[in-house]
């Protein structure tokens, strides 16, 4: 227990000093006001945890209010940033192609930075969404801008509560005003996390995708050759803007299913109802007002048209991960800690065939940051002697049960494994692969990272070839799912 | 016109107001300035004026790992988590290993002081009922990456640091690293351009000939398409191409090669003033230039830079001498019939960004008009042209324009040039947009007036087929 005790002592000794994510945070605003606002936000998050039926003093949740408050402040730092500060000082004189012979009196043509990965917050439900951004401009007046500034300016507007079209528009006009080029073109592809019940196990995981763009100056107009060149340069990277601009019918924010967002001027109302999760229902008003107060602390206006109802939707999302004291019954066995630990069947030296259910999709909520982590679960077990296995839908329900709460991936893996082991006394093995929004959209921002956990019980523990062949099976079937 | 200059004037005024920066610049910035002078550049010209500051800052930021403390990172991020019962579950932990895969990092090669990229995968087996916050695995790796490093040593240091701070049952670290090749070795096809190597390090229950936990770790990496066996012992290429005589120790194996250094036309002596400037930079950063692995690195870094030395050569082409004065003759107006459009695509290049002294590399596509008899210009002529304009401190917009003007001088109907490049300055530092790619276009003559011509040229560029596959390819 050495390391953990040490850690606690040190943490107690350094009472205010927290886990080390300070380094990434930009210090904003005046110190005093920030402190108070921070405390108010943490109190609000604490209210949310209580509303979810959790014990906010347990170890995993103790610093969650601080982490969540910090994440929101960092994720909305764009409100305080000035485009002028970024662009100024990064303008360089560059001789253009002579106006008599070259294009558009600039330096010779457009400059396009493609595949800028960004994250923003959905103003409709307050969850992060991911963006692939492409920015082009035509230099004018003998000046070019430092390439990284295009990305930094996009980030100013991404780090706010946003919707995709407005983000594209704001980036476009800000760049046009600050660089004063002949024109600017912005293209975005955005992905929104779906409702947990709509997750698929394919690689795109059922994320809702939309495309948006915005143009100014020489990029505008029906048949702008600059715009056509811009589109062609994106195609070189496999970016097809036409793919889903008008064809996709799903609404942008799945928690707000009745409206398709304005997409380059087109809007559409839906008539389908939102999918109802078994846990959804009322959004407790104290939780909703806690979220509204968080918006105020961040400098937003909860009465702004687009934010009306967002606190409710955010709470609705959280409530799917409400703590619950239900037990799961599986094949007549009640699962709780006591009955899992019967002795494994020692006499079974022959392998019954290993049965498996692979690539079961799930979405859980990380208890440290109140952000989703989602992916797939693979389950291996021993079927009964007559070859019967357990229906996939039972496993899906099991996975769903353990996913729909504030979780930690290591714990969820163990819980599912113990549940399976209680009916598969020979052994059980569970592998979970997940993407953690808390590591992707903020903090270390490792966009490609993926976390895997394993729990191994019974025969799978003692017989490493059984375990190896299960893992190999996942590898072999992985291609099919891509 | 007046309005158009506003933004630039403003910027200049703001910069002049801080003129005293030059006077008060620190030792590192002075050293970079010495490098620029050694490259034959005018360090006061606009594009280079703040380069010393940017380069110094990049090195300081890129080596911040020396000052960071692993304990500070891990402590406070340990959470109690009940394990599977010891009687029935694996390794007395919480139920098995935890592996974070595909953590992208950048580090600095201690052999030549250029950045190299890393895909890192870290696993550990929790013990004693505690797990660590997942992001800390990445943060700890970063402590060791943000230094002058070699791949195997990073793997070893990350592994032992995690083992000491988390106190788990074991730690496994696997890394794939990519080093920029010599510019003359850049090829344009999908074959691996960058020099790739794999390394790993293990502790505790991951060690041993047939550790089942290690086998599980390898299997979990395979699920992400990561094949560690692929290049651990098979290829003989040296890690750092500027130091070709040694293959780095790779999990205990080392090998000397006997190939000679490829000689670039520009390589030669490394001016000692520049070398000592770089040594002093290392000292400012807290490193010891006399450390065994760093001996010779300043020379190699200067050798790299000298490939991008300013030069006053003109390119002679088909007996036309190119300089600004003679390019701007009137385009051939009466050519309503097209000589056919010809093109050379995917000409590889490597240039050095003048703002950060870091490479940017990619491909150039050139379109021009033949003279109607079916003959075109030889590809290797274009490659030489691209090499000429690439081998200097550059800005992508300028390089594009220069190549276009050069082509236009012999293809009087028109010329179009598209450059696609990855900028290490945007990928390894600063905005750190790992997947970003910058494209520039220059359009002259007929390609300007006839939008079908330029559109059809662009349509004909075949996208790089390995987009998204090989990590460091376009």
Tell me the CB-side half-sphere exposure of residue A5, using CA atoms within 13 A: 3
Stretch A359-366: mean pLDDT: 94
Q: How confident is residue A125, by pLDDT bands cut at 50, 70 and 90?
A: very high
Stretch A16-26: mean pLDDT: 39
The yes-or-no verdict on residue A235 having pLDDT over 50 is yes
The yes-or-no verdict on residue A399 having pLDDT over 80 is yes
Answer for the pair B447, B405: CB distance below 8 angstroms, yes or no: no
Q: Is B100 an interface residue toward A (CB < 8 Å)?
A: yes
Q: What is the reported pLDDT for A333?
A: 42
Q: Which of A29-38, B100-109, B363-372 has the lowest mean pLDDT?
A: A29-38
In angstroms, the separation between the Cα of residue B432 and the nearest Cα of chain A is: 9
The CATH code of the domain at A337-481 is: 3.30.1130.10
* Contact flag A111-B430 (C-beta cutoff 8 Å): no
- Nearest CA to B95 among A370, A437, A274, A421? A421
Distance CA B395, CA B314 (A): 19
Q: What is the reported pLDDT for B245?
A: 62
The yes-or-no verdict on residue A112 having pLDDT over 80 is yes
Same topology for domains B64-257 and B317-459, yes or no? yes
**Cβ within 8 Å of B, A 110-139:** 110-117, 139
Answer for the pair A443, B142: CB distance below 8 angstroms, yes or no: no
* Contact flag A461-B90 (C-beta cutoff 8 Å): yes
Stretch A208-233: mean pLDDT: 93
Residue A363: its H or E element = strand A354-366
Domain ranges of chain B: 2-60+266-306, 64-257, 317-459
* Residue B56 vs residue A247, higher pLDDT: B56
Burial class (CB in 10 A: 0-12, 13-18, 19+), B228: middle
pLDDT in tens, A163-197: 999 999 999 999 999 999 999 999 999 999 988 87
Q: What is the reported pLDDT for A251?
A: 76
**Cβ within 8 Å of B, A 405-424:** 408-411, 413-414, 417-418, 421
Q: What is the reported pLDDT for A204?
A: 61
* Contact flag B103-A468 (C-beta cutoff 8 Å): no
Q: Which residue of A has its CA nearest to B331?
A: A101
The yes-or-no verdict on residue B9 having pLDDT over 70 is no
The yes-or-no verdict on residue A398 having pLDDT over 80 is yes
**Cβ within 8 Å of A, B 213-242:** 215-216, 219-220, 222-224
pLDDT in tens, B344-358: 999 999 999 999 999
> For residue A414, which residues of chain B lie inside 8 Å, CB to CB?
82-84, 89, 94-95
Q: What is the reported pLDDT for B188?
A: 55
The yes-or-no verdict on residue A249 having pLDDT over 60 is no
Stretch A208-225: mean pLDDT: 93
* Contact flag B444-A102 (C-beta cutoff 8 Å): yes
What percentage of chain B reaches a pLDDT higher than 90? 57
* Residue A94 vs residue A156, higher pLDDT: A156
Q: How confident is residue A459, by pLDDT bands cut at 50, 70 and 90?
A: confident
Q: Which of A303-312, B21-30, B167-176 has the lowest mean pLDDT?
A: B21-30
Stretch B150-169: mean pLDDT: 96
Q: What is the reported pLDDT for A108?
A: 53
The yes-or-no verdict on residue A442 having pLDDT over 80 is yes
- Shortest CB distance from A4 goes to which of B78, B398, B438? B78
- CB count within 10 Å of CB B40 equals 13
Q: What is the reported pLDDT for B231?
A: 54
Q: What is the reported pLDDT for A329?
A: 60
Q: What is the reported pLDDT for B210?
A: 87
Q: How confident is residue A259, by pLDDT bands cut at 50, 70 and 90?
A: low
In angstroms, the separation between the Cα of residue A135 and the nearest Cα of chain B is: 9
Residues 6+ apart with CB under 8 A from A215: A172, A183, A184, A185, A186, A224, A227
* Residue B335 vs residue B270, higher pLDDT: B270
Q: Which of A375-389, B262-276, B353-367, B445-459 has the lowest mean pLDDT?
A: B262-276
Which of A298-302, B78-82, B119-123 shows the highest mean pLDDT? Answer: B119-123
* Contact flag B418-A233 (C-beta cutoff 8 Å): yes
* Contact flag B88-A421 (C-beta cutoff 8 Å): yes
The yes-or-no verdict on residue A482 having pLDDT over 70 is no
Average pLDDT, chain A: 81
The yes-or-no verdict on residue A230 having pLDDT over 60 is yes
- Shortest CB distance from A103 goes to which of B133, B212, B443? B443
Stretch B421-448: mean pLDDT: 92
* Residue A256 to residues A308, B433, B437, Cα–Cα distance (Å): 11, 31, 35
In a mutational test of the A interface, the residue from B95, B139, B205, B421 whose CB has the highest number of chain A CBs within 10 Å is B95
Both tokens of A260, joined, read 């398709």
Q: Is B401 an interface residue toward A (CB < 8 Å)?
A: yes
In a mutational test of the A interface, the residue from B16, B79, B212 whose CB has the highest number of chain A CBs within 10 Å is B79
* Residue B212 to residues A59, A108, A297, A475, B137, Cα–Cα distance (Å): 32, 60, 51, 17, 22
In a mutational test of the A interface, the residue from B90, B425, B432 whose CB has the highest number of chain A CBs within 10 Å is B90
Q: What does the buried/exposed string (b/e) look like for B333-370 if buried means 16 or more CB atoms within 10 Å of the residue's CB? A: eeeeeebebbbbbbbbbbbbbbbbbbbbbbbbbbbbbb
Distance CA A295, CA A134 (A): 29
Stretch A20-25: mean pLDDT: 40
Q: Which of A86-90, A334-338, B234-238, B330-334 has the lowest mean pLDDT?
A: A334-338
Both tokens of B135, joined, read 């992001």
Which of B73-87, B123-137, B223-237 shows the highest mean pLDDT? Answer: B123-137
The yes-or-no verdict on residue A159 having pLDDT over 90 is yes
Stretch B185-191: mean pLDDT: 58
Residues 6+ apart with CB under 8 A from B33: B25, B43, B52
> For residue A467, which residues of chain B lie inside 8 Å, CB to CB?
212, 216
- Provide the 3-class DSSP secondary structure of residue A329: strand
In angstroms, the separation between the Cα of residue B453 and the nearest Cα of chain A is: 11
**Cβ within 8 Å of A, B 331-370:** 331, 355
Parallel, antiparallel or unpaired: strands A183-192 and A128-138: antiparallel
Q: Which residue of A has its CA nearest to B325?
A: A98
CA angle A54, A58, A60 (to 5 degrees): 95
- Shortest CB distance from A94 goes to which of B79, B395, B432? B395
pLDDT in tens, B369-420: 887 666 778 899 999 999 999 999 999 999 999 999 999 888 888 899 999 9
Stretch B285-307: mean pLDDT: 94
In angstroms, the separation between the Cα of residue B290 and the nearest Cα of chain A is: 31
Kindly report each contact of residues B456-461 with a partner whose C-beta sits within 8 Å and lies 24 or more positions away, as own/partner: B456/B341, B457/B341, B457/B343, B457/B365, B457/B367, B457/B416, B458/A229, B458/A232, B458/A233, B458/B418, B459/A232, B460/B343, B460/B345, B461/A236, B461/B345, B461/B365, B461/B418
CB pairs under 8 A between A and B: 318
* Contact flag A95-B401 (C-beta cutoff 8 Å): yes
Q: What is the reported pLDDT for A273?
A: 40
Q: How confident is residue B440, by pLDDT bands cut at 50, 70 and 90?
A: very high
ipTM: 0.85
**Cβ within 8 Å of A, B 301-320:** none
Residue recorded with tokens 């390394």: B199
* Contact flag A180-B408 (C-beta cutoff 8 Å): no
CATH for the B64-257 domain, from 1.10.760.10, 3.30.1130.10, 3.30.360.10, 3.30.390.50: 3.30.1130.10
Q: Which of A16-20, A85-89, B102-106 has the lowest mean pLDDT?
A: A16-20
- Shortest CB distance from A444 goes to which of B88, B90, B139? B139
The yes-or-no verdict on residue A385 having pLDDT over 60 is yes
The CATH code of the domain at A76-276 is: 3.30.1130.10
Q: What is the reported pLDDT for B315?
A: 67
* Contact flag A112-B440 (C-beta cutoff 8 Å): yes
- Shortest CB distance from A108 goes to which of B129, B165, B400? B400
Q: Which residue of B has its CA nearest to A182?
A: B4
> For residue B400, which residues of chain A lie inside 8 Å, CB to CB?
108-109
Q: What is the reported pLDDT for A274?
A: 41
Q: What does the buried/exposed string (b/e) look like for B411-422 if buried means 16 or more CB atoms within 10 Å of the residue's CB? A: bbbbbbbbbbbb
Q: What is the reported pLDDT for B81?
A: 85
pLDDT in tens, B60-105: 999 999 999 999 999 888 988 877 655 444 433 445 899 999 999 9
Q: Which residue of B has its CA nearest to A151?
A: B431
The CATH code of the domain at B317-459 is: 3.30.1130.10
The yes-or-no verdict on residue B211 having pLDDT over 80 is yes
Backbone angles phi, psi at B365, to 5 degrees: -115, 130
* Contact flag B130-A443 (C-beta cutoff 8 Å): no
> For residue A238, which residues of chain B lie inside 8 Å, CB to CB?
463, 467-468
Three state DSSP letters for A206-258: CCEEEEEEEEEECCCCCCCHHHHHHHHHHHCCCCCHHHHCCCCCCCCCCCCCC
């Amino acid at each position: 227990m050495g390391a953990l005790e040490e850690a606690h002592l040190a943490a107690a000794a350094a009472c205010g000093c927290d886990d080390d994510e300070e380094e990434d945070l930009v210090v904003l605003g005046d110190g005093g006001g920030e402190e108070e606002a921070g405390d108010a936000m943490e109190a609000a998050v604490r209210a949310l945890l209580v509303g979810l039926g959790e014990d906010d003093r347990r170890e995993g949740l103790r610093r969650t209010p601080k982490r969540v408050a910090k994440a929101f402040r960092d994720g909305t730092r764009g409100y305080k940033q000035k485009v002028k500060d970024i662009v100024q000082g990064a303008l360089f004189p560059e001789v253009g192609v002579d106006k008599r012979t070259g294009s558009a009196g600039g330096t010779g043509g457009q400059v396009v930075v493609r595949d800028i990965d960004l994250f923003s917050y959905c103003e409709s439900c307050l969850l992060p969404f991911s963006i692939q951004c492409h920015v082009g401009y035509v230099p004018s007046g003998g000046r070019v801008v430092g390439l990284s500034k295009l990305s930094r300016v996009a980030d100013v507007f991404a780090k706010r509560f946003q919707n995709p079209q407005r983000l594209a528009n704001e980036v476009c006009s800000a760049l046009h005003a600050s660089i004063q080029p002949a024109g600017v073109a912005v293209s975005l592809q955005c992905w929104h996390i779906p409702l947990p019940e709509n997750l698929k196990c394919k690689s795109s995981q059922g994320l809702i995708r939309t495309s948006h763009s915005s143009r100014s100056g020489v990029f505008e107009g029906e048949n702008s050759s600059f715009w056509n060149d811009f589109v062609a340069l994106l195609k070189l990277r496999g970016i097809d803007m036409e793919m889903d601009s008008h064809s996709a019918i799903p609404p942008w924010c799945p928690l707000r299913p009745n409206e398709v967002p304005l997409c380059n001027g087109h809007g559409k109302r839906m008539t389908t109802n939102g999918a109802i999760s078994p846990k959804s229902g009322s959004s407790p008003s104290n939780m909703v007002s806690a979220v509204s107060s968080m918006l105020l602390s961040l400098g937003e206006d909860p009465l702004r048209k687009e934010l009306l109802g967002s606190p409710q939707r955010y709470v609705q999302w959280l409530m799917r991960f409400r703590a619950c004291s239900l037990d799961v019954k599986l094949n007549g066995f009640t699962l709780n800690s006591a009955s899992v630990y019967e002795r494994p069947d020692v006499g079974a030296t022959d392998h019954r065939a290993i049965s498996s259910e692979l690539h079961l999709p799930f979405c859980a909520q990380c208890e440290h940051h109140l952000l989703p982590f989602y992916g797939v679960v693979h389950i291996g077990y021993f079927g009964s002697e007559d070859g019967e296995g357990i229906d996939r839908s039972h496993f899906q329900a099991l996975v769903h049960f353990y996913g729909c709460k504030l979780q930690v991936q290591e714990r969820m893996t163990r819980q599912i494994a113990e549940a399976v082991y209680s009916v598969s006394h020979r052994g059980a093995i569970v592998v979970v692969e997940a993407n953690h929004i808390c590591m992707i959209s903020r903090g270390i921002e490792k966009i490609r990272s993926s976390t895997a956990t394993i729990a191994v019980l019974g025969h799978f523990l003692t017989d490493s070839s059984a375990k190896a062949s299960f893992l190999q099976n996942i590898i072999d079937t992985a291609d099919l799912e891509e």
